[in-house]
Amino acid sequence: MAFNAKILKNILYLVGAGPGDPDLLTMKAYKILKKADVVLFDHLVDAEILEIVPDSCLKVYVGKEPYADFTPQEDIHTRIAQYCQEYGHVVRLKGGDPYIYGRGFEELLFAEKLGIEVQYVPGISSMQGAGFHHIPLTHRGVSDGVWTLTGTKKDGRLSSDLQLAIQSNSTVVIYMGMKKLDEIARTYVMCGKGDTPAAILQHVTLPAQREVVCKVGDLLKASRDNGLSHPAIIVIGEVVRLHAANSCDILSNRQYKVY
């Protein structure tokens, strides 16, 4: 479907729903959802958040479940154009933050070409959910910063920046990396850092959240032995060792522990 005419009315909100827990939604996001005419929502948006919208609001699922059924980005663009022509307040609701591996900026560029006004509303990213496992992303004297990498680029490869991140004194957080655990581990081992503490955090901030702490070289085994899969993030660095429960386990003879 082609949309050549300029759209000079209505507004698209790119809203971050946060990492999962509905209580972590921002007040601005809540207010926008309360007046939404249409909500285009992702796979990881909690059902309780969708209850905020008015009864008259049209709720449209446009999710992308990893390695399963997904809505092509082109179809999402078509729906954005369609609903912004027909309704007043259209909300594109994304898990986490729209601009952190959420393709939100692609949707902004598309909407702006059609003359649609766009407002961005940040959301808490899933990497910040590491704090719910008492893993700080930075800590004075331990981690100088954070490298945030994708485990799966557009061409399917692991980000080559991992080689650079390993050499830094910073925490490494990998999104969409559960299919690349073996490659991540081998990369660290080849750099002589296979004993670096690591954690796999699944369903962060939700009641079903799980954590596996291990040496980075054992990521694949720890994941398989404990049945962890996506959605999950991988946190690698000395910050994983800081929490007492994690520290004792990593320094023991056991390979990993599930919390």
Residue pointed to by tokens 């449209």 = 60
Evaluated on CA atoms 18, 90, 98, 200, the torsion sign reads: positive
How far the first Cα of the chain sits from its last, in Å, is 49
Q: How far apart are CA 247 and CA 245, in angstroms?
A: 6
Q: What is the DSSP letter of 158?
A: P
Catalytic residue among 21, 37, 42, 249: 42
Tell me if 19 sits within 8 A of 124, measured CB to CB: yes
Q: Are 74 and 23 in contact (CB under 8 A)?
A: no
The answer to whether 121 and 14 are in contact (CB under 8 A) is: yes
The alpha helices in 208-255, defined as continuous H runs, are 219-225, 244-250
User: Which one of 28, 64, 179, 193 is the catalytic residue?
Assistant: 64
CB-based burial label for 28 (10 Å; 0-12, 13-18, 19+): middle
Backbone φ/ψ region at 182: left (φ over 0), alpha (ψ -120 to 50), beta? alpha
Does the annotation count 180 as an active-site position? no
42 is catalytic: yes
Instruction: List residues with catalytic annotation.
Output: 42, 64
